[in-house]
Amino acid sequence: MHLRYSYRIYPTAGQRALLARTFGCARVVHNDALAVRKEARKAGRPYPGSADLQKLVITGAKKTAERAWLASVGVDPLIQSLRDLDTAYRNFFDSVSGKRQGRPVGLPRFKSKRDARQTLRYTRNGFRIRGNGKLNLAKIGDVRVKWSRALPADPSSATVILDPAGRYHVSFVVDVEPEHLPEVDAEVGIDLGLTTYAVLSDGRVIDNPRFLRKAEKKLKAAQRELSRKTKGSKNRAKARIKVAKAHAKVADTRMDWLHKQTTRIIRETQAVYLEDLNVRGLARGRLAKSVHDAGWSTFRRLLEEKAARYGRAVGIVHRAFPSSQLCSECGHRDGPKPLAIREWACGACGVLHDRDLNAARNILAAGQADRLNAPGGPARPGVAIPRQARPVERGTHLGDPPRTGIRATGAGGIPVR
C-alpha cells in the first residue's frame, strides 16, 4: 500500500531561485500541453498521445527560441507535470462516466504564477536521499530536510511543495507492507456530532478541540489587519504572508489532532463504523463553519487509511439510516427529532437516551449487521454467515481498483458500501 510522508525542507536562497524557475517551467509545460489538448478537441482531432505530447511541449519546445529556457531545469519534473495532467484528465473522464466516486472532478485548468501552492513531482530518476540525510534534487542540489519521523522504506516519488505561507515541504510516496496489529475484540460505532466532535458507542466522548479556536482567533485578527492595508503596498504583502502562516497553523494543528484521535481509535478497536454523512451537503448550509472545522471527511479518510495499514475494518453506514430515530434498546422507531433535542425517552420501552450515544450504538449495530452479512465477511465463532451472495463493494485499501458505483442493499434495506 502507498503512504505519504511529508517533511519540511529548507532550500538555500540559491536553491529557492532554482526551484522557482523549475516551478515556472513545469507550469509552462502543463499549460502548453493543456492548450494543445484543448485545441485538438476544438478541431475535432484525437488527443495527442503522451509520447507525442512530450516531444511537442518538452523536447521539441527546448529547440525553439521561445522555450529554450526549458533546457535549464531538470527534465524529470517536466515529464511528471505531463503525467499529472494525464491523471487529471483521466480523473475527469472517470468522474463524468461515474467510474470514480466522490465529489465531481472538473476539467484540468491552466496554472498561474499566482496559484497559492506550487508543486514539482520527481520520480526515482530525479531525486536521491544522501547518506548525510540531505535530499538531492536533480539540477537543484542537496537540500536540508527536517526528518520529523523515519521513512519506513525507499520512496518511489517525491513532490516538492511551496505552500502559501512560503514554506517548502517534500512529500514522499512510500510503498509499505501493511503491519497488522494483534486482533482485539472491541468494535465501535461513531456518531459525529456538532456539540461534541464525536460520541463512541462505548460511551467515550471526543470533544471539539478548543485550541483550534485559539489558532483561529489569531487567523481572524491577521485577516482584519490585512483588510486595512492599502492595496499593492509592501505592508499588505507582509500582512498577506501573516494570514497564510496563520492558516497553515490552523491546518497543521487540526491535522495533528486528527492523526492522534484516529490512531488511538484504530489501535483500540478491530472495527469502526461511521455514518456516511453528506458532508458536502452540510457544508453548503448554515452549519458550514463547524462542519468545516470538524474535518469529518479527513477524519474518515485517516481512519480508512490506518485501518488498511493495521488490519482493521471501517464500515460505512448509509446516510439514510435513521440512527437518531431508532431506540438502540428495543428497535422502536421513534420518529425524527430536531437537533436541539439532546435526550429523549423511547415511546415503546421508556429507556432514556442520550441522542448521540444512542445514535452511535445504532451505527455500531447496523455496521456489524452489514459486515457479518457480507460474503467473505469475518467468520467469528458462533456467528452464522448467510449464504446468499450479495454484491457488496469491499475494501478500503488505497490500492483497490476504482469503485464501480454499484450500491448493494444491506441488512434492513440499508445500502452499504
User: Which of 274, 327, 374, 416: binder of Zn ion (CB under 5 A)?
Assistant: 327
Residue 349 found at the interface with Zn ion (CB under 5 A): yes
User: Which of 35, 107, 348, 385: binder of Zn ion (CB under 5 A)?
Assistant: 348
Residues ≥6 apart with Cβ < 8 Å to 324 = 336, 337, 355, 358, 359, 362
Residue of 191, 304, 334, 370 marked catalytic? 191
Nearest-CA neighbor of 328 among 366, 358, 368, 356? 358
User: Which of 346, 357, 369, 392: binder of Zn ion (CB under 5 A)?
Assistant: 346
Residues in the chain: 417
Rounded to 5 degrees, what are φ and ψ at 115? -60, 140
Active site residue 356: yes
Residue of 32, 275, 304, 305 marked catalytic? 275
Nearest-CA neighbor of 374 among 416, 407, 313, 412? 416
Task: Give the total of residues touching Zn ion (CB under 5 A).
Answer: 7
Residue 320 found at the interface with Zn ion (CB under 5 A): no
Angle between helices 76-97 and 13-42 (to 10 degrees): 40
Question: In this complex, which beta carbon is closest to Zn ion, that of residue 142 or of residue 329?
Answer: 329
Question: In this complex, which beta carbon is closest to Zn ion, that of residue 37 or of residue 361?
Answer: 361
User: Which of 163, 329, 354, 393: binder of Zn ion (CB under 5 A)?
Assistant: 329
The least CB distance from residue 203 to Zn ion, in Å, is 18
* Alpha helix (H) residue ranges in 98-139: none
Distance CA 346, CA 7 (A): 52
Residue of 76, 305, 334, 356 marked catalytic? 356
In Å, how far from its chain's centre is CA 289?
A: 19
The least CB distance from residue 188 to Zn ion, in Å, is 21
Choose one: 37-45, 234-242, 285-293, 327-335; the region binding Zn ion (CB under 5 A): 327-335
Residue 330 found at the interface with Zn ion (CB under 5 A): yes
Active site residue 275: yes
Strand order in the sheet with 198-200: 205-206, 198-200, 187-192, 271-275, 313-317, 415-416, 408-409
Choose one: 116-124, 246-254, 345-353, 399-407; the region binding Zn ion (CB under 5 A): 345-353
Going from the C-alpha of 372 to that of each of 308, 362, 375, 382, 384, the distances in angstroms are 18, 15, 8, 12, 8
The least CB distance from residue 341 to Zn ion, in Å, is 16
Residue 137 found at the interface with Zn ion (CB under 5 A): no
Question: In this complex, which beta carbon is closest to Zn ion, that of residue 6 or of residue 325?
Answer: 325
> For residue 56, what is the DSSP state?
I
Active site residue 305: no
The least CB distance from residue 332 to Zn ion, in Å, is 4
Question: In this complex, which beta carbon is closest to Zn ion, that of residue 349 or of residue 385?
Answer: 349
Residue 332 found at the interface with Zn ion (CB under 5 A): yes
Catalytic site positions: 191, 275, 356
